[in-house]
Structure 1
Amino acid sequence: MPGNTQVINQRQLCWLVGSLLIGGGLLSIQHELVRVAHMDTWFVYLLPTVYILFIAYVFAQLSMRFPGKHLFEINFILFGRWFGMLANALLLIHLWFILLRDLRMFGKFIGTILLPNTPEEMLVLLLVVMLMFYGRASAEVISRVNDLFFPVFFALTLLLPFLLSNEISFRLLQPILTTSPLRLGYGGLLSVGWYGDIIIAGAFLHMIWNSRQIHSALRHGSLMATALLSLFLFLEVAVLGPNIPANLLYPNYSLVQHIQITDFLDRMDLLILSIWFPIIVGKMIFIYLAFLIGIASLIRQRDYTLISSPAGLFLLLTTILAFKSTPEVFSFGNYSSPVIVLSYQPVLLAAMLLLMRRFPKRNPEHHEEGSSEKKQGHDRTGMSKGGNRHPGKRLGTRLGAVSSRTWLRTGNVLLALGFVFVGAGLLFSRNYAVIGTLAGFGYALVLALLLFVTHMEMRKAKDLAARSAPNSARTS
């Protein structure tokens, strides 16, 4: 049965988190963010990133105390039968709303861009049939599909500044950080509604036994999403200006339509769309599997394959009947999502942090982490004494000798430094424009360094898991 056998690795969880957050950000929210924060809109994802890191910490603590359990099962253990069922019901309602939102938004995107003459009901039907098909498979399947497309998407997004270099005008970004802090805060709150989708990752905690890997994967995946979405907003303003994207339904698609490589490669948007499509679809499948896992947990089962068809039919019916017009869909997705997320998630997570203290930490790698890191540092020190004369290898050895806690603290310090740059720019850039420019460069540098630091944190967690696995096997 899929519920009993499926396992995903650390990298797959990281890339699934990236697809989950980026898939939502590409659909509709970005034009609202430009409307709220104007030319400084590429700073708004800093606030929801902090919220994501808090959720990653809670999930890591839960995994340490309840290895092999997913979020819905943990709720029953922490809150008891009835309150646990109430907590799971809130999560399921949220997942249902997310699926309604994404199915209608993606259906309208396909109907507007690709198939304008196809009825929207038929597009939603095809999407739901696809969800029902993957609902009979395991999370391993969509993880492997995502492994194929997400690296290509990541590389393609990093290439966008070079592909659009002849269209970029930095004058459109200036003056930097002169928008009021209140507007940036509003943009951050809107983004929290979409970043709150990360709660879905809790349905897959049982597929990775190592809590350190869960923590690092969620951190790196969320920061990859923040960096890429911030890059999209940066390019939208630098290419289209601060006013045009706010009035476009899909500014990301309009952005890539400006890519022209010579005179005969002027429809690069179709190629890029073929990479975007699996990312957005993968996000919906990821959410649908979490929805099925949650329903199956209500009857204390992990095999969700039997309920895929009835759940899909229910989803099809409610999706078609939920909204009457396009403005209703986008208003619900952009303005109701923050209200839904903030109405229950902070309270639920805080209650989990309080109640989990009654249970001891049972994940074995944390008991052996200190000794493993000391041993690893001793081995690498001894190896460096052996006369390794290659600078690249010496640098890699020194980076590998850094402990996981050091990488974690470095990432937190960098994130705090990002707030310092943004705060300094907001305070002084109205009088000294150069300070705003320097703050913008500093913020971009912080995002780049955060990607590197969290990547090293993931590598360290993988090494520690490999070292602790034989020891835990001997102990058992």
Structure 2
Amino acid sequence: MKKKVQIGAKEMISLMVLFEMGTSMMSIPGRNAGKDAWIAILISTVLGAMLFVCYGSLHRRFPNLLMTQYCRALLGKKAGSVLAFIYIVFFLYGGARDLRDTGILIADRTLQHTPLTVICALMIGLVMYVMYLGIEVAGRTAIIMLILLLLLGLATNILILLAGIVDMGNILPIAEHGWQPIWQVVYSQAVMLPYGEMVTFAMILPTLKKNYRANGVGVSAILFGGLLLSMVTLSNVLALGEDVFKRATYPLLSMISKVEISDFIDRIDVIGVMSVIIFDFFKIFIFYYAAVKAAEDVMRIPYHKLILPFGLIMLVSCVLMALNYQDHLQTGELVLKWLFPIFAVFFPILLLIVSWLRKTRNKKGEENVS
């Protein structure tokens, strides 16, 4: 008998926080709000936690089923299978975008003469290896990496303070242009990236040990990660100022590169690059894991036979999805605004409503029989 894969709350929270930070550390969602971006992220965190309650509620109704499985249970075999297949494409696309983001960062900051395809191939190869080892290994590794990154973040913030590059005047006055620009950014960017992407964990929640509540674990992870992301954003604004913060390709790395203490400590931006790569790796892995497990369920093919094909699909997709970096960014903005809400909000709420209606109908049927 095959042993059921299970992970604890610490592993699940670590995976969620790393996923949440992911590419958000690199691009900082909500930057269009300027010096008020940290407020937009806090608001989006609360909305993201509320959105996750929808995913957790579906898991509570179907604790042993993957998202693709209760799609069929609620919508019927044909419609449910179509929706499940569409989610496979969604997971692959999300992973491919993040893979390209990471590849561009590495090519720009560390391996300038290495082709993007080679960098992405090495990254997806590592993701495939962790997939082969299993989600339990990924969860245990996530705990270690999260602790390491938190310590590095604390040390970096201390160095930023010692370097004297923080200016409290950079965030004043708060909400100078009113709340409309902040809410606009919340809708168009900051909720979907990264909180809408957390729908991916609907494919992982069945592995959570049954003595933990999915909503409690998920909401705790989202609030903790959102607070960290807001603090990082606030640090960027304080150190860089609004203009540089909005224009910088990688605000976090721009901030860290300004640290210089007595000609003794400088060039610590390598810490930032390493941290972002680790965050991005786990986000790519979660998307990849969800796509493979969804395909295993829909296609009835053992997941280990899908590891290589799906890795190649994600690699080719990430290389061919955009002509250049600007095109990649513009496509990402459109996808976040119009496509992601369909998968992150519309379909999950639809499934929750259908499950509620079926439960109500069954309850009424039982009452009539009695």
TM-score, normalised relative to structure 2: 0.89
- 1:46-445 matches, within 5 Å, as 46-165=42-161, 166-189=164-187, 190-194=189-193, 195-210=195-210, 212-300=212-300, 303-357=302-356, 358-359=358-359
Give 5+ residue unaligned stretches, structure 1. 361-476
Please report how far the alpha carbon of residue 13 of structure 1 lies from its aligned counterpart in structure 2 after TM superposition: 0.8
* SS of aligned partner of 1:152: helix
Measure, in 1, the Cα distance between the counterparts of 2:58 and 2:212: 11
How many equivalent residue pairs? 355
Corresponding residue for residue 367 of structure 2: none
Q: Give a deviation string over 1:108-166, Cα, whole Å, max 9, x none.
A: 10000001111111112212222222232211111111111102222333454432112
CA contact (8 A) 1:94 1:340 kept: no
CA contact (8 A) 1:69 1:206 kept: yes
| Matched letter for residue 92 of structure 2 | W
CA contact (8 A) 2:95 2:288 kept: yes
* SS of aligned partner of 1:266: coil
CA contact (8 A) 1:100 1:318 kept: yes
| Matched letter for residue 294 of structure 2 | G
Measure, in 1, the Cα distance between the counterparts of 2:18 and 2:248: 23
TM-score, normalised relative to structure 1: 0.70
Give 5+ residue unaligned stretches, structure 2. 361-370
Identity %: 20
CA contact (8 A) 2:23 2:276 kept: no
Measure, in 1, the Cα distance between the counterparts of 2:87 and 2:154: 34
CA contact (8 A) 1:42 1:234 kept: yes
CA contact (8 A) 2:23 2:101 kept: no
CA contact (8 A) 2:26 2:251 kept: no
Measure, in 2, the Cα distance between the counterparts of 1:284 and 1:315: 10
Cα 1:80–1:300 change in 2 (3 A) is: farther
CA contact (8 A) 1:142 1:286 kept: no
Q: Which runs of 4+ in 1 moved over 6 A?
A: none
* SS of aligned partner of 1:243: helix
Measure, in 1, the Cα distance between the counterparts of 2:346 and 2:278: 34
| Matched letter for residue 322 of structure 2 | F
Cα 1:211–1:56 change in 2 (3 A) is: farther
| Matched letter for residue 204 of structure 1 | I
| Matched letter for residue 95 of structure 1 | F
* SS of aligned partner of 1:122: helix
Q: Give a deviation string over 1:201-253, Cα, whole Å, max 9, x none.
A: 11012112438531111111111221111111111111110001211111111
CA contact (8 A) 2:56 2:215 kept: yes
| Matched letter for residue 247 of structure 1 | R
Q: Give a deviation string over 1:158-192, Cα, whole Å, max 9, x none.
A: 45443211211101111112233221012212112
* SS of aligned partner of 2:258: coil
Structure number with greater CO (CA < 8 Å, separation at least 6) is 2
| Matched letter for residue 246 of structure 2 | A
